[in-house]
Structure 1
Amino acid sequence: IIDEAHQLPNRARELLSAKLTTYTLKRAYKEAKEFGEYAHNDIENLRIKLQEIANKIEEEAYIDKKELVAILNSLGNDFLTELEEISDLVKEAGKERSFCSSILNFIEKWMDSDEDFARIIKRRKEGFEIKLVSLLPSKITSNIINNSYATILMSATLQPLEMYADLLGIENYDTISFKSVFPRENRLNIVAPIVTTKFSRRGEEQYKKYAEAIKKIFCEVNGNTAVFFPSYGVLKEVRKYLNFEGILEESPKLNKEQKSAILKRFVESEKALLFGVQGGSFDQGIDIPNNSLKCVIIAGLALATPDLEIKSLIDCYNRKYGHGIEYGYIFPAIQKAIQASGRAIRSEKDRAVIVYLDERFLWRNYRRVLEGEDFIVSKEPWIEIRKFWN
C-alpha cells in the first residue's frame, strides 16, 4: 500500500539519478590525501579535465557517456579500487560520509545508464556540476508492482490516474476516484482569469494586478489567507506593490526553527497574510489546525524552468507515451497547485475559499488535472468571497 503515491515517480527517478560537483571532487581530494596513496592525483586530474569541458559551454550542455568513460580510462588502473578502499577507511574512522564513496557511486551509475538517462554538464560560480538524470521511474517501480499480488496506490492528488500508470509502468490496473467526504458547501473554488504569471507577460503590469487582486481578496476573507506563488522571484516582485505591515514570508534561507515560528504566528493570528511558494515549506506536509486558514490563493502556475532536464523529460515521455508536454511539464505544475490548495480544508467542519489566480487554469490542457472539482469562474472573486462568508 503506497500512500502519497503522487510523489513516487520523482522519488524513483531521484534514486536512479546522481551528480558530481567540483565541491565533491575537492573534498574527495583532501580525503584521498589523508587516507590513500595515489588516488588524490587521479581525482585532481578528473576535476581538471571536467572543468576544461565546462569552460567551453555558456550555461549547460549535454555530455556524451563515452566522454567521461574516456577520461576515466586515462586515469590509473586501480583508481576505482582505491576509491573503494578509501571509502571503507573513512567509514572505519567513524565519519558519516565519504566523498570518495560519492564519486564511486556516481561512476557506477554512469556506467550502468542507458538511453533513458540525460547527461548534463552545467557551469557554476565555483566550477561545474554533472548530472545523470533518470527519466523513467518505471525502471525500478514496474517489476515490483507488476510482480506483486496486488498494489494499492493512493493520494488525494493522483490525477490524471492514467499518467501515473504510464510513468510507473503498471500493466494491469483498475482506477477509482472517490468524492470528498467534506461538505461541498464548505468549500468555494474560484478560477479568476484576470492575471497570469506566463513568462512572456511577466512584468510590472501583471505584478501590480496580482497585488491588487490579493489585497481585495484578503479584505473580504473572514480570517487568515495564504498565497502560494510559482517562485520566490514572483513573490518578491508582487510584494513590492503591497504596503501591508507584517506579511509573513517564506524564504529559502529560513531554517527549521524560523519556519516553525512563522507557522505558529500565522495559526495564532485572527487575520494574517502568509506568502509562500508552491513546492515549498508551507504548502505541503503540514496541518494548519482549527480551521485557521480561511483562504488559499494559488498565484500562478509553477511551471519548471525549461532547461535541458525538462526538455529531456518531454522528449522521453513523448517517445514512450505520446504525452511529453503534459507528463513532463504541464501536469506537474498543476499538481503543485492542487497540493497547495489542500492546506485549508482538513476536516468536515472547516470552511475555506480556494482562488486559482491565473487565466491558464481555464485552458483545456490544464483543466484535465482539476477534474472532479466544482469551480465557478469570476473576474471579481472578492465579490464571490463576500457572498460566501456572509
Structure 2
Amino acid sequence: MKRMATTRIGVRELVEFVLRSGDLNQRQGSQNTALNGARIHRRLQKQRGDDYEKEVYLKQSVTMSGREYTIDGRADGISHTTDEDYTIEEIKTSDLDFAEVSENTLQLYWGQAQVYGYILAQQKNLAAVTLQLTYFQTTTEVVTTKTKVMQQAELTAFFQQLIAEYEEWLVLRDQWRAQRNTTVKQIDFPFPAYRQGQRELAVAVYKSILLQKRLFVEAPTGTGKTISTLFPAIKALGEDKIQRVFYLTAKQSTRQVAEDALALLSQQGMQLKSITLTAKDKITFAEEVDLAPENNPYMLGYYDRVKPALRDLLMHENQLTRTVIEEYARKHTIDPFEFSLDASLFADVIICDYNYLFDPIVYLQRFFSEPDRDNFFLVDEVHNLVSRSRDMYSASVSSQTFQAVLQQAKTESSAGTSALEKLTSKVKRALTKISKPLRDDDITEMTGQAPLDSVNQALADWVAKIHDWLAEYQDNPLVDTLLDAYFASLTYLKIADLYDETYQSLVSYDHKLRQTTVKQLCLDPSAFLDRALGLGAGAILFSATLSPLSYYQQVLGNNKDSLTFRLASPFPSQNQALLVTPYIQTTYRQREQNLDRIIASIGVMVNAKVGNYLVFLPSYSYLETVQAAFAAAYPQLKTISQATQMDEIQRAEFLAQFTAQPTGTLVGFCVLGGIFSEGIDLKGERLIGVAIVGVGLPGLSTERDLVRDYFDAQQGTGFQYAYQLPGMNHVLQAAGRLIRGSHDVGVILLLDQRFASSRYTQLFPAHWQHFQRCYSVAQLTNQIDQFWQMVAVKNKALD
C-alpha cells in the first residue's frame, strides 16, 4: 500500500491502494530493477519519435468526502498524430520474463495507464485513448509491448470505481481526524506547571510549524524536550496546520519516551492515532524467519486480508505500539512489519528510527517519494545524526564476502554451483585487481576522488546475473551465503549513483588475510540531509548537546534559512561542581607518566563522599589500565566495568548496581562515547560523580583524516569537524549523566589540561561557565570537600 495524501493523491498510490491483491513479496522485480529503472526509462524514451512527449504531468480534481482532492502523476510518455489520436505509454521494468508477471501486477500496470488515460480524455475531450504498456526485462533486455484502445466511457467507469472505494477510507480517516482535532483542542499541558524554559521551547516549536521552518534546539537535560516538542506539534495537528508528525530517533529508549508522552496526553481524552515502527528483524514473527515467501502464511494472501485487518485495528486502537501491531497481525494472519507500514498511512504521529527518512536504501517511499507539506519532522538526539548520516550515505564491499561464497561452493555439488563459481570469481578478480598497487608497494590503503568504475561495473554485471541464478536455483544450499554478498552489492551500487564531489574512494588491503575492501566514503552528507528534510514542511532538530549550533546547522543540512534556539539549564549551577585539572595530560604519549595523578584525582572524588560514580575513558584498553591501577590503589572500593559486548540483560544488570540508597561506594568504568555515556538516567543518589579522562578525540584513522582534509579545503575547519567537535559531544553527553533532576547534586571532573584551554572552554555550554581550574591534587581535594560541605549545609537548612 502507498501513501494516502491529504489534498493530493498520486496516481500510483490510488491504483495500488485499491487494486493490489494476493501475496506479499510477489516476485515483481528486485532492488536492482529499482536502481536501473530511471536509466531504462530514459533510454526507451529517447527511441521515440518527434511526436512523443516524455514525463507528462497530468492532474484531475475530484470531490470526495466533501473535500476537493487532486489526482496527479507523470505519465511516462504521450504521443499523438492528430488532435484525436493519443497514445499514453506506461513503461515498466523488471527482472522477470513478461510471461511470469502475475495477473495482479499486470492489473496494477494497466490501472495506472487507465487513470492517465481518463485524465487525458477529460482534458482533451477525447472519445478514446490508446494505452501502451512497454515492459523491459532487465536481465535479457527484451522489450514486450502491449496496447489496448479504451473508450472514454470505459475509462470514466474505471476511474469512478477506484474513487468510490478510496473514498470509503477517506471518510473513515476524515472522521478520525475530526475526532482528533476536537479532542486535541481540549487537552492542556500534562503537568501542573512548565519547567524553566519549557513554555518558551513549546512556543518556538509551534511558531516554526506555522512558518514551515527548520529549528535547531539545544535544550539541556531536565528541560523536558520530548513533551515540549510533541505537545505543540500535536496542537498544530488539531488546527490542521499539519497532518502528520514524524518523531525520529536514534535509539529504542527515546522511542519509549515519546510513547510515554503520548500516553500521558491520551489520559486527558486525546483521540490521536500514533504508531511506533519497529525494525523488520525485531518484529517479524519467529516462525516466519526460515520460511520462504511462498510457504509463509503471513505473506500468502496478505493483500486480501490487510484491509479488514486495518479496519479492525483502526476502529479499536489509537496507540499502535509494537505489542498492539503484533496482536492484530496474529489475529488476521498477516506479516507484522508490512502491516505496521500499511497502518502508518492512517497515523497522526509516527515514531521511528532516523533511517526511515534519511537512509537512501530503506527510506519510506510511501511517504517520501516527493515533498509533502503535511509532514513535519521532530528529530530527537540529533547530535547522533552526524555520524549516522555519514554511514547511511557510505558503502563498502569486501573480497572476503565473495570468497565466503566461493569457499562454500567448493564443498557443494548442487545444480548451479559451477555457474555461480564462475560468476563470483569474476567480481572477486575485479576487487583483487584494484588492490594490486597496495600489494606491490606493501601498503594497506589508498584513496582517490574518482569513483571506482571498474568495481562498479563488475558488481552491476554480477548482480544482474545473480538475480537470475537465485530465481533458478532457489533451493541451492549456497543461497543464504550468497544473499549477504548480493545485498551488500546492491547497496554499494545505490550509493555509487549518489557519488559526487563530497565522496572519496578508499581501497584497503589486509596483507595477512589477503583481503581487499573498497569503500565509497561520504565526507559531507549535508546536501542529502537537506533534501530529506525538505520532504516535509519543516523540522525541529533537538538535543541536550548541540554546541556549537552553527556546526550542527552546517553538517545537518546547511540550510541558510534554518533557525536556532538555546535553552538555559533548569537546574541551579551550584548543584554541580565542575572541576578542570590542568595538571593532568592524557595524550597517548603522556598517559603512562600521568597515570598516578589520574588515579589520585579519581580517588579524591570517590573518597570525598560515599556513593555511586562513573569514570569515562577513551578506549577499552585504557579503561583496563586505569581500572587495574585504581583497584590496586583502592582495594577497599568496589569497581565494575563496561565489557566490549553487552546484551540488554547485561546492561540492565550493570545499571542496577547503581542503587538509590548506596551503603558503600561503587565506581563504574565506562568507555566515552559508548552505551553508558548517553541515554541512561541515573537520578538522585544513583549517581553523584562523573570523571572524564581525556577530551574524547576519536582515534586517528584514514577516514577521519579524509573528513579533516575535506573541511580544511572547504573552510579551514578540518580538525574541529573531524576530531574536536565529535569528541567534545561525547564529553558533554557523558557529563550529562549527572544532574538529572532539580534536587540532584554531584561532581564532574574533566581530567585533561586541554579542557583548561580556550579552544575547549569556548565550547562549554552556558551551564558550565561556573567551572573551576584545580592546579594540583591538593587544590582538587579542597574544592570537592568545600562543595560537599556546602551541600550538607544547604540540606540541613532545608530540614
Partner of 2:426: 42
Q: Choose which of 602, 612, 619 in structure 2 pairs with 1:224.
A: 612
2:773 pairs with 377, 381, 386, which one?
A: 377
Question: SS where residue 676 of structure 2 aligns?
Answer: coil
Q: Is 2:654 the partner of 1:262?
A: yes
- Listed one character per residue, the Cα deviations across residues 181-225 of structure 1 (whole Å, up to 9, x for unaligned) are 1122211111121212123423x2112221121112211134111
**Deviation per CA, 1:239-282, whole angstroms, max 9, x where unpaired?**
34221444101121444433322222233654100111111121
Aligned partners of 2:399 and 2:428 also within 8 Å: no
SS of corresponding position for 2:564 = coil
Percent pairwise identity: 24
Aligned CA distance change for structure 1 residues 29 and 358 (closer, same or farther; 3 Å)? same
CA distance, structure 1, for counterparts of residue 547 and residue 395 of structure 2: 28
Note closer, same or farther for the CA distance 1:83–1:64 as it changes in structure 2 (3 Å cut): farther
Residue 635 of structure 2 is aligned to residue 251 of structure 1: no
Indicate the residue corresponding to 2:738 in structure 1: 344
Assess, with a 3 A threshold, how the Cα gap between structure 1 residues 294 and 91 changes in structure 2: closer, same or farther: farther
Shift of 1:31: 7.8
The equivalences for 1:169-208 within 5 A come to: 169-202=558-591, 204-208=592-596
Question: Where does residue 60 of structure 1 map in the other structure?
Answer: 445
Greater mean deviation of Cα atoms: 155-164 or 256-265: 256-265
CA distance in 1, matches of 2:528, 2:459: 33
- 1:335 shift after superposition: 0.7
Q: Equivalents in 2 of 1:18, 1:304: separation in Å?
A: 21
Residue number among 265, 283, 299 corresponding to 2:693 in the alignment: 299
Q: Deviations over 1:139-187 (max 9, x none)?
A: 2111233564332111110000001111121211222211111122211
Higher strand share: 2
Corresponding residue of 2:463: 80
Aligned residues of 1:208 and 1:238 also touching (Cα < 8 A): no
AA in 2 matched with 1:388: F
Consecutive unaligned residues of structure 1, counting only runs of 5 or more, are none
Larger deviation, residues 325-334 vs 35-44: 35-44
Contact 1:145 1:170 in 2 (8 A): no
Contact 1:65 1:110 in 2 (8 A): no
TM-score when normalising by structure 2: 0.45
Give distance in 2, aligned partners of 1:76 and 1:192.
Answer: 54
Which residue pairs with 2:786 in the alignment? 387
Q: 1:4 aligns with which of 370, 381, 391?
A: 381
Local SS of the residue matching 1:79: helix
How many angstroms apart in 2 are the aligned matches of 1:189 and 1:89? 66
SS, match of residue 370 in structure 1: coil
Contact kept? 2:616, 2:672, Cα under 8 Å:
yes
Question: How far apart in 1 are the matches of 2:690 and 2:460?
Answer: 59
Q: Note the 1:101-140 alignment, pairs <5 A.
A: 101-110=487-496, 112-124=498-510, 125-126=512-513, 127-140=515-528
Are the equivalent residues in 2 in contact too, given 1:166–1:321 (CA < 8 A)?
no
SS of 1:176's partner is: strand
212-221 or 293-302: which moved more?
A: 212-221
On the 8 A contact 1:157/1:335 being kept in 2, the answer is: yes
* Counterpart AA for 2:384: Q
- The one of the two structures with greater contact order (alpha-carbon pairs below 8 A, sep at least 6) is 1
Q: Which residue of 728, 731, 748 maps to 1:354?
A: 748
Which residue identity lines up with residue 196 of structure 1 in the other structure? Q
Match of 1:98, SS?
helix
Q: Check the 8 A contact 1:291/1:345 in 2, yes or no.
A: no
Partners of 1:113 and 1:69 in 2: CA distance: 11
- RMSD over aligned CA atoms reads 2.9
| 2: CA distance, partners of 1:136 / 1:65 | 16
- Aligned partner of residue 313 in structure 1, secondary structure: helix
- Once the two structures are overlaid, the 10-residue window that deviates more, 304-313 or 108-117, is 108-117
Structure 1: how far apart are the matches of 2:728 and 2:585?
14
- Decide whether aligned partners of structure 1 residues 81 and 335 sit closer, same or farther in structure 2, where only a CA change above 3 A counts: same
Pairing 1:167–2:555 present: yes
Using the alignment, how far apart are the partners of 1:230 and 1:351 within structure 2?
Answer: 25
Residues 77 and 19 of structure 1, relative CA distance in 2, 3 Å threshold: closer
What secondary structure, in the 3-state scheme, does the structure 2 residue paired with 1:241 have? helix
Alpha-carbon distance in structure 1 between the residues aligned to 2:473 and 2:685: 50
Residue 62 of structure 1 contacts residue 118 of structure 1 at CA under 8 Å; is this kept in 2? Answer: yes
Structure 1 CA distance for aligned equivalents of residues 427 and 454 of structure 2: 15
- Paired with 1:238 and 1:191, the residues of 2 have a C-alpha distance of 19
Q: What is the match of residue 712 of structure 2?
A: 318
Deviates more, 1:241-250 or 1:223-232: 241-250
